[in-house]
Amino acid sequence: MPDLEQIKHAPASAGILDPIASRWSPRAFSDQPVSTEDLHKIFTAASWAASSANEQPWRFLFGRNGDATFAKILDSMVEANQAWARHAPVLLLSVGKSTFSPGPFSGQNNRYALHDTGAASAYLTLQATALGLHAHGLGGFSQEKARAHFNIPADFEIGACWAIGYLGDPDTLPEGLKQRELAPRTRKSIADFVFAEWEVPATL
């Protein structure tokens, strides 16, 4: 098997932290379970993300392969994602509370709920990477199914599904997905998204 960790690693010249440089989203997962100790570290990392008014609006529905929560999250996915995600040892569904809890902004709309849930998800993925794991976030799922499966209240916005586990064999994937698994990652230039004026690249 090719050394996917090297193929997917960001260029060394980027000078960024290794968990960021080596983070990527595989579809081929092994059946090796994720330890409870590592899961505690992953979710603790998520808990330290920044959030508006320190609301910490994120919630993560967590399932291990074989349990009822895993089955519900998997059933919410489109068929193409089910085909590979069913092999991951862990599935998550991220959710953000769209109203503030009792306090200075009690009951008010929290328009940053999903933004902050995304920040917690990013911390989670970087901690997973630092532990030798991988996380793959996906939007190909039915929010309606997910909400019904878990009776998610109306004041919670659904974010994304996540598969977490150890890297598996890309030969287990359909050919199209296998080629994507083996291809190097690419990124936009900083000038494409860091502006001084709208659509005018900033000088760094």
Q: How far apart are CA 20 and CA 25, in angstroms?
A: 12
Ranges of the chain whose pLDDT falls below 70: 1
Per DSSP, the three-state class of 63 is strand
The DSSP letter of residue 191 is: G
Q: What is the pLDDT of residue 92?
A: 98
Q: How far apart are CA 92 and CA 43, in angstroms?
A: 11
Q: What is the pLDDT of residue 1?
A: 61
Q: Return the residue matching tokens 């900083």.
A: 190
Q: Which residues of 145-174 are buried (b: 16+ CB within 10 A; e: fewer)?
A: ebbebbebeeebbbbbbbbbbbbbebeebe
Domains of the chain: 18-201 (3.40.109.10)
Q: What is the pLDDT of residue 15?
A: 85
Total-model pTM: 0.95
